[in-house]
């Protein structure tokens, strides 16, 4: 049995009736922005066996950024909730914001690591292309190196740039 899918408006109505909303995104993403009533329980913790507190008494609604993680992990999410009353919110927090529902945002928190990777990779590729034309054609290799790194990251699941960026001082914000 799969959980029922709710629109953000349906989820909002169920929250008014006491449902528990669980955000399965990483904690850094949650700290940057989240739905006011949401509890943070990252998928990485759910996969290690952590469960939703209070889920035996109330319906539980899970959400992520755009809905893919909740859909792809529906069986694990159902096991994380004690009650059989489990729902997935379609479209995640992106759909919630599109429906003009309230969020809590803390712009003092760092950007999500994946966005930092995209920005850094884009800058390095652009610098490599400009420097390759303006200075020395061997500098095109910088763009090639970044492209190869992105391919490796996609294939292996390991991103060296993300690991490096996580160690940067701006990503050590107080929780």
Place of tokens 């701006």: 170
Tokens standing for residue 93: 């927090």
DSSP secondary-structure letter at 157?
Answer: S
Any catalytic annotation for residue 159?
Answer: no
Query: Cα–chain-centroid distance for residue 140?
Result: 32
Catalytic: which of 21, 64, 86, 121? 64
In terms of DSSP H, where are the helices of 86-139? 92-98, 113-134
The DSSP secondary-structure symbol of 65 reads S
Q: What is the DSSP code string of 70-81?
A: HHHTHHHHHHHS
Which residues are the active-site residues?
Answer: 64
């Amino acid at each position: 049995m799969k959980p029922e899918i709710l629109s953000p408006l349906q989820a909002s109505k169920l929250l008014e009736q006491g449902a528990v909303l669980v955000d399965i995104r990483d904690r850094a993403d949650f700290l940057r922005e989240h739905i006011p009533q949401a509890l943070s329980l990252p998928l990485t913790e759910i996969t290690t066996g952590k469960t939703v507190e209070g889920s035996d008494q109330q319906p539980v609604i899970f959400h992520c950024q755009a809905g893919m993680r909740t859909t792809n992990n529906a069986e694990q999410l159902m096991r994380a909730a004690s009650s059989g009353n489990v729902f997935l919110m379609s479209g995640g927090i992106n759909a919630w914001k599109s429906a003009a529902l309230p969020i809590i945002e803390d712009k003092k928190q760092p950007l999500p690591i994946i966005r930092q990777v995209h920005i850094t990779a884009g800058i390095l590729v652009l610098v490599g292309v400009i420097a390759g034309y303006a200075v020395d054609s061997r500098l095109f290799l910088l763009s090639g190196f970044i492209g190869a790194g992105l391919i490796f990251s996609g294939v292996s699941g390991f991103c060296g740039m993300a690991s490096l960026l996580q160690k940067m001082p701006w990503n050590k914000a107080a929780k």
